Chains A and B, each alone.
Chain A
Amino acid sequence: MAVYKRTYKSYSGPLTPLWSRWMIVMRFSYQRLVGIKTNLFLLASLISPVGFAIYIYLAHNASVLRSFGGGAANILTVDAQVFLNYCVFQNGLAYLLVAFTGPALVSPDVVNNAMPLYLGRPLSRTEYVIGKMGVLVYLLSIITWIPGLILFALQASLAGGEWTRANLWIAGAMFLAPMISIVMLSLIALAVSAWVKWRAAAGAVILGIFFLGAGFGAAINAILRTHYGSLISLSQVINTIWAGLFRRTNETGLEPLDAWNALAVACVACLWLLFKKVRAFEVVK
């Protein structure tokens, strides 16, 4: 029978498991969010991994390098610093992607009062947040640690088993470092999206958090002759944590433990702000 001829009847079919509902939020949010512009951005973001792949290939193919000139073969080396540089570059792109897409995640639901509709169903606030965050984690993973691990695999295949065994920790850092950044960026984007209704303003706030934080941090450091000002600069905090993960020299002056604490405080603050808005009703005081 045609759908339009049917009358209302109750549903008695099977139900999906409760734990899987956050994936529905993620799927529909992804569909709403990702269009041609985002896809083009994702595609452009994969240019640099291709560049790094070429670099790794050239570093292992001296004959090709010699055709470019005599000394180049000695300059190109693949070590933790190369992978750290890759992460830093891709993280910049991830940051732009978050500023571009993040504001559209929660604010339409808050503005249009859709929260009671979500939360009036078997879906908790936490699952809602996980679903929304999942979109950003997925998008950012595509341009950060997934190609990063492919690059590591390429290097491992070209350098051989001995190098791989000695540098397996780099693979861990290649996954952990971007993931830490992804989680922090996603939480900031969701918190800002929940509080700032206007999309352009929310994007500006996300950018401002990093730039203003870095500026104020530097000012505090200069005026008070300390390095604790860097704690309010999230990029410095991330750099400190990454330096530890990639076993490089920490140039920010921050202690790794302080950086981890600052990161935890930032994430908890974002969650607190987020859960203040992700609720089915407004308390009028």
Chain B
Amino acid sequence: MAAVIDLAGLSVRFGERDILEDLRVSVSGRTIGLLGPNGAGKSTLIQTLLGFVPASSGTASIFGHDIRREQGAIRTLVGYMPENDAFIANLSAVTFVRMMAELSGLPAEAALERAHEVLFYVGLGEARYRMLGTYSLGMKQLAKLAQAIVHGPKLLILDEPTNGLDPPARQRMIRLISEMREEMHVVVCSHLLRDVEETCEEVLILKQGRIVHYSNLEEERRANKRFVELETFGDDRGFAEELAALGCECAKAGVSRLKMVLPVGFEVREIYRVAAERDLQLRRLNYRRDTLEDIFLKAMEA
């Protein structure tokens, strides 16, 4: 699959401080989560990709367009929803979104039509003639989303999209992001692991300006299905050995507790069969799936 974002030794320096250091990765997923603790460089990375911040060394490309030389082309292809409040107070939502569409290159008529469309799509249809200054925080977030998608970008960059949203509004935002990934690539920059876990298929974790983890969440989840935790009741002597003979890697994890890595093609019902033959009760059998939190914490310890 062609790379959506390609970082080639990208570094950013503010004065004497290295904000991003030698980032190298090629990202091609449909939805990419950009994670990291505060100050990790997530927003700086986005701003560098958009050309707001100059790279001190290395470069990057979006859909093959170099960020140093082809900013105009990149900004036409990208929709950006900034983290903080960003609007024009004395404009109605429809005028605001229309203006943003025109600035992205849409002719005036198409811009107006699409402004109405996207405002209905994000759920602001009834409030589209209201001044943005009178909007609630959640509505402003949706208006920011509307301006980011009005020109039909190929890549949508969302910086903390659920900031300040109440649970129903957050759910709505998550649903919209999930729907939009059918039409475009989405980068979700967030420190909320749950948001990223619910919306993204790939995750890129930054720590102190460096990439500490990049993986496909789906593949990680699939791989983790081979890890099993067992809790037994009864005499379990020889149980682990018999499972090991069937190809499992077993390790004791305490009294009556086992951790196993199942071989490829191994059916879980074999575990039940062996336990039944030994008259051993299985109190608990869990696939020990790495959550995004586990992945994140491991990356932070690295």
Contacts and interface: CB of A to CB of B under 8 A. Distances in A.
Contacts of A120: 50, 52, 75, 78, 80, 82
Interface stretch (B116-124, B197-205, B214-222, B233-241): B116-124
Contact of A112 (B89, B113, B120): B89
B117 A8 contact: yes
Interface stretch (A9-17, A55-63, A159-167, A174-182): A9-17
B152 A10 contact: yes
Contacts of B59: none
B180 A8 contact: yes
Q: How large is the interface on A (under 10, 10 to 19, 20 to 34, 35 or more residues)?
A: 35 or more
Interface stretch (B26-34, B104-112, B272-280): B104-112
Contact of B91 (A4, A7, A15, A32): A32
A15 B76 contact: yes
Contacts, number: 121
Interface string A155-198: 00000000000000000000000000000000000000000000
Contacts of B99: 24, 28
Contacts of A121: 75-76, 100, 103-104
Interface string A1-33: 001101111111111101001001100100110
Contacts of A28: 91, 95, 99
A160 B68 CA distance: 59
Interface of A: 3-4, 6-16, 18, 21, 24-25, 28, 31-32, 108-109, 111-114, 116-123, 279-281, 283, 285
Given A280-B52, A281-B53, A117 B107 contact: no
A8 B82 contact: no
Given A3-B113, A25-B103, A28-B99, A8 B179 contact: yes
B47 A8 contact: no
Interface string B117-157: 11011000100000000000000000010010101111000
A4 B258 CA distance: 56
Interface residues of B, number: 51
A281 B19 CA distance: 15
A118 B103 contact: yes
B105 A16 contact: yes
A26 to B, nearest CB: 11
Given A10-B152, A120-B50, A3 B116 contact: yes
A8 B121 contact: yes
13 contacts: A3-B113, A7-B121, A10-B153, A21-B105, A32-B90, A112-B88, A113-B84, A114-B86, A116-B82, A118-B103, A120-B80, A121-B100, A122-B75
A275 to B, nearest CB: 14
A116 B49 CA distance: 13
B287 interface: no
